[in-house]
Amino acid sequence: MESPLRRLYRRASVYYDVLDWPLERFRYGRIRRELWSGLRGRILDLGAGTGRNVPHYPAAADVVAADASPEMLERARARVAAENRGGRIVLTDALALDFQDGEFDACVSTFLFCVLPDEVQERALREVMRVLRPGGTLYLLEYVYSRVWWRRLWMRVLAPGVEALYGARFDRDTRTHLLDAGFSLTEERYVHADIILKLVARKEQPLAR
Ligand SMILES: C[S@@+](CC[C@H](N)C(=O)[O-])C[C@H]1O[C@@H](n2cnc3c(N)ncnc32)[C@H](O)[C@@H]1O
């Protein structure tokens, strides 16, 4: 049976790029550029959506764009072709990734975990852990509630609309799920005001005997 998120993103694929255009232009562009710069090796772009990260894929990287929504990926495919970036497109669920153990050097996931319900986040993160090689790195961008009262209030006003349009929430506890899944947090930093958080986590290498 089709999941509620899958159904939501069939609809969202129609308006995603249009509604996000101002944010993409004035907020996300710089953040995505910085996030991807210098990454190399085999990289999983998880929850790739319409392919907003595609223009930032480094030439030195071999990137696989994966998502559970065929309609979102159709737009990513067009973007990959337009940008002439290479990049393989794979339809797969973050909760049961269709990849081999240790296949990737890094995983980048932008605004997927504010969409995934808390109950399934640890499962998805364990899947990411499985497909990363030992020493591999996970890079996340997520929205969180501001600690500034007036900004937080504004986010509370927007929250029902954001959840209806994108299934996204500002109160996911991704940091805790990362630690519960066994990742080591190596960086935690706001990249836009105090509402977009960058989390970088590592899959530790097994200790040598
Ligand atoms: C808010 S969009 C983010 C898209 C893109 N990463 C970006 O930065 O614009 C969330 C994406 O996660 C995808 N998604 C939701 N649940 C998923 C799951 N269980 N497995 C894989 N992708 C999923 C949706 O289809 C959607 O494309």
pLDDT in tens, 69-102: 999 999 999 999 998 877 799 999 999 999 999 9
d(CA 20, CA 50): 11
All structural domains of the chain, each given as residue ranges with its CATH number in brackets, are: 4-202 (3.40.50.150)
Atom of ligand 1 nearest to the CA of 93: 20
- Residue pair 167/115 in contact (Cβ under 8 Å)? The answer is yes
**Ligand 1 pocket, Cβ-based, cut-off 6 angstroms:** 5, 9, 47-49, 52, 67-69, 72, 93-95, 110-112, 115-116, 166, 168
Q: Which residues pair with 142 in a beta bridge?
A: 197
| CB burial of residue 30 (10 Å; 0-12, 13-18, 19+) | exposed
Q: What is the predicted pLDDT for the residue at 206?
A: 79
Q: What is the pTM of this model?
A: 0.97
The answer to whether 61 touches 43, Cβ cutoff 8 Å, is: yes
111 CA distance to ligand 1 middle (Å)? 7
Closest of 135, 147, 128 to residue 47, by C-alpha: 128
Residue count of the chain: 209
Ligand 1: residue of 30, 36, 112 to mutate (most ligand atoms within 8 A of CB) is 112
Model pLDDT for residues 14-69, shown as the tens digit of each residue? 999 999 999 999 999 999 999 999 999 999 999 999 999 999 999 999 999 999 99
**Average of pLDDT values for 113-134?**
98
